[in-house]
Amino acid sequence: MGGQPPATFRKPKNTKKTLVRLLKYLNKYWLYLTIAILCIVFVMIGTVFATRLIGVAIDNYIMNFDFRGLAKLCFVLFAIYVGTSLSMWIQSILFLWVGQKVVASIRKEIFEKLQKLPLKYFDNTTHGELMSRVTNDVDNISMALNSSVSQVFQSGLTLIGTLAMMLYLSIPLTIATVITIPIMLIATKAITSRSRRYYKEKQERLGNLNGFIEEIISGQKVVKVFCQEEETTKSFSKRNNELLQVGVRAEIFSGMIGPIMMALNNMTYAIVVAGGGLMMVMGLPITLGTISNFIIYSKQFTRPLNELANQVNAMMAAFAGAERVFEVLDETEELEDTPESVELNAVKGDVVFTNVNFSYEEGHPILKEVNLYAKPGQTIALVGPTGAGKTTIINLLTRFYDIDNGTIAIDGHDIKEIKRRNVRSNLGIVLQDTYLFTDTIRENIRYGRLNATDEEIFEAAKLANAHEFIRRLPDGYDTVLSDGGGNLSQGQRQMLAISRAILANPSILILDEATSSVDTRTELKIQEAMQNLMKGRTNFVIAHRLSTIRNADLIAVINHGEIIERGNHEELMQKKGFYYSLYRNQFETNEAV
């Protein structure tokens, strides 16, 4: 139970492709980034030049006891350090601003993408997995753009500037300084190649764990009813330990970089001091100030390498997150309307299914040669055992899924030729599992038609028999509902859903009958509300309690994806076929209860 199976081990992602795609988001902010990079260049030049001035101070002023000249040079150093500090602050602000703008753009893009994805995608992906991509993965991108990108630029330019100054001062000491660099690069490459794989797997397992948590929280009542707390905890612990193990491996490998770099840095200092001292003993052209410069430059040269290495964690997490976000953005959207798509202005509710075939997975047909006709104003009941295909028929009518072959027509127009939004705007759906938003009752009802007035909302609630219980609440229509409407009873939530559907005023109504979990008095109120809602509309009712559809104009009996019987209640009972058996079994069960 819970979420997807554990994520399988995957090869490292295409870092270059992901980076190129991320850079496209930065293109529109090129001016701000240019200013930020110029600030970084100034910081690099100022830092390198200030370090050189320290060597000049040792050789020309301190060694000669020229304190006046030393004071002037100190003033110049002070001015440089103030300027570089100001530049660092400016570039930091600019990178933060650009980073936030880019992340806001990505977050907006992925949310808009989710609105365009077909229902199939949400059926096959856990909510926790999606939340992980929209939140955790986007946050990892944000952290990288806010700090890591500027750090990469700053470290890269510092490397270039420092190396140029070292070559200018002394080629032998420069060679002594950079001799450990190949070792650093080899070690870093070996470590990051492993950590990258583990960071990718870590993100996948985190999404899997989030999906499991989201599912268990939503189904907490079921967990408690069946006393599965211990088993659920074990299942969570297994997933949590899998995440822990891969997370520890990722952190261990990335954490190795710092100590290795520190050891190599200390080795570099020793080489520079020994090499400089040897050159002075041998009488080669080198001064104490130059050796001091090289000690500082060796730190300035290796520090960017350390900083780049320390950014591996953030960068790997960002690339892993970006790739997962881009996977969502690359998902196939619902088919767009064609220029020839029509828009129906006044839908009568004439619905015809002709030889409809459909399968969720190729080779596993769900509906087979379904033929169904609903005249305007008729009530069509769909009955049959679980898994027969009743809900699938509704999914096809709403175009949540498109049929494999055959046709579904509304008022003589194939729904594939009608604008998708137009089809759905003329459909009203009241599901068995009612969903209410964390908002006021007023706004939950208004969701059926956003431009509705308060008077229209009140009238819809009255027709749905919801007005009285709403009025008795402390805040009335301004009562804020908890997640999913958890602070209301099942019957009250159902009446609000009916109110919303009444307000939408659809031409075709779909009802997933939902009165089995409420008391008799509430059931009567809901039935009355449903009757008010169904007046003057074409109605499709998925019937769970057959006694509630005795007055339906047509009852379609579905089994194994085929309509095996059709007719009204009296006709089907006289046939004494499949419907007769279903009805008698349910009636006898109710009598026994």
Neighbours of 310 (CB within 10 A): 18
Q: Is the pLDDT of residue 475 over 60?
A: yes
Q: Which residues contact 61 (CB under 8 A, 6 or more apart)?
A: 67, 69, 70, 73
Please report the beta strands in 497-574, taking only residues with DSSP state E, as ranges in sequence order. Answer: 508-512, 538-542, 554-559, 562-567
Q: Which residues contact 590 (CB under 8 A, 6 or more apart)?
A: 547
Closest by Cα among 44, 36, 46, 43 to 90 = 36
Query: 237 vs 250, which has greater pLDDT?
Result: 237
Closest by Cα among 411, 260, 393, 288 to 345 = 411
Q: Is the pLDDT of residue 87 over 90?
A: yes
Q: Is the pLDDT of residue 5 over 60?
A: no
Place 225 in a pLDDT band, splitting at 50, 70 and 90. low
Q: Is the pLDDT of residue 300 over 50?
A: yes
Helix runs in 480-519, H state only = 490-504
Q: Which residues contact 119 (CB under 8 A, 6 or more apart)?
A: 395, 400, 401
Domain 351-592 has CATH 3.40.50.300: yes
Sign of the CA dihedral with 28 first, then 31, 32, and 33 last: positive
What local confidence, expressed as pLDDT, does residue 4 receive?
Answer: 35
Judged by average pLDDT, the poorest of 315-329, 353-367, 510-524, 547-561 is: 510-524
State pLDDT tens for residues 112-151.
888 888 888 888 887 777 888 888 888 888 888 877 778 8
For the chain, give the percent of residues with pLDDT over 90: 16
Q: Give the domain ranges of the chain.
A: 17-329, 351-592
Closest by Cα among 285, 275, 290 to 53 = 290
Give yes or no for a contact between 316 and 213, defined as CB atoms under 8 angstroms apart.
no
Query: 453 vs 19, which has greater pLDDT?
Result: 453
Residue 271 is encoded by which pair of tokens? Answer: 């080489």
What does the chain come to in residues?
A: 593
Give SS3 for 285.
coil
State pLDDT tens for residues 341-378.
888 888 888 999 999 999 988 888 899 999 999 999 89
Class for domain 17-329, per CATH?
mainly alpha
DSSP 162-201: HHHHHHHH-HHHHHHHHTTHHHHHHHHHHHHHHHHHHHHH
Give yes or no for a contact between 558 and 390, defined as CB atoms under 8 angstroms apart.
yes
Q: Which residues contact 274 (CB under 8 A, 6 or more apart)?
A: none
Averaged pLDDT score across all residues of the chain: 83
The beta-carbon contacts of 213-220 under 8 Å, at least 24 apart in sequence, are 213/128, 214/3, 214/126, 214/127, 214/128, 214/131, 215/1, 215/2, 215/3, 215/126, 215/127, 215/128, 216/2
What local confidence, expressed as pLDDT, does residue 313 receive?
Answer: 66
What local confidence, expressed as pLDDT, does residue 128 receive?
Answer: 73
Residue 113 is encoded by which pair of tokens? Answer: 């993408």
Mean of pLDDT values over 16-27: 85
Q: Is the pLDDT of residue 9 over 50?
A: no
Q: Is the pLDDT of residue 219 over 80?
A: no
Give the H or E element holding residue 341: none
Please report the beta strands in 235-364, taking only residues with DSSP state E, as ranges in sequence order. Answer: 351-358
Place 515 in a pLDDT band, splitting at 50, 70 and 90. low
Domains 17-329 and 351-592 fall in the same CATH topology: no
Rg (C-alpha) for the chain, rounded Å, is 35
Residue 575 is encoded by which pair of tokens? Answer: 């046939």
Mean of pLDDT values over 233-259: 83
Query: 176 vs 377, which has greater pLDDT?
Result: 377
State pLDDT tens for residues 402-456.
898 999 999 989 998 888 888 888 888 887 777 888 889 999 999 888 899 999 9
What local confidence, expressed as pLDDT, does residue 592 receive?
Answer: 43
Place of tokens 């954490």: 255
What local confidence, expressed as pLDDT, does residue 518 receive?
Answer: 59
What local confidence, expressed as pLDDT, does residue 457 receive?
Answer: 92
Q: Is 256 exposed, middle or buried (0-12, 13-18, 19+ CB in 10 A)?
A: middle
Place of tokens 């009757």: 531
State pLDDT tens for residues 27-77.
888 899 899 989 999 998 998 888 888 888 888 888 878 888 889 889 999
Q: Phi/psi class of residue 544: alpha, beta or left (left: φ > 0; alpha: ψ in -120 to 50)? A: alpha
Give SS3 for 367.
strand
Mean of pLDDT values over 219-229: 73
Give yes or no for a contact between 542 and 512, defined as CB atoms under 8 angstroms apart.
yes
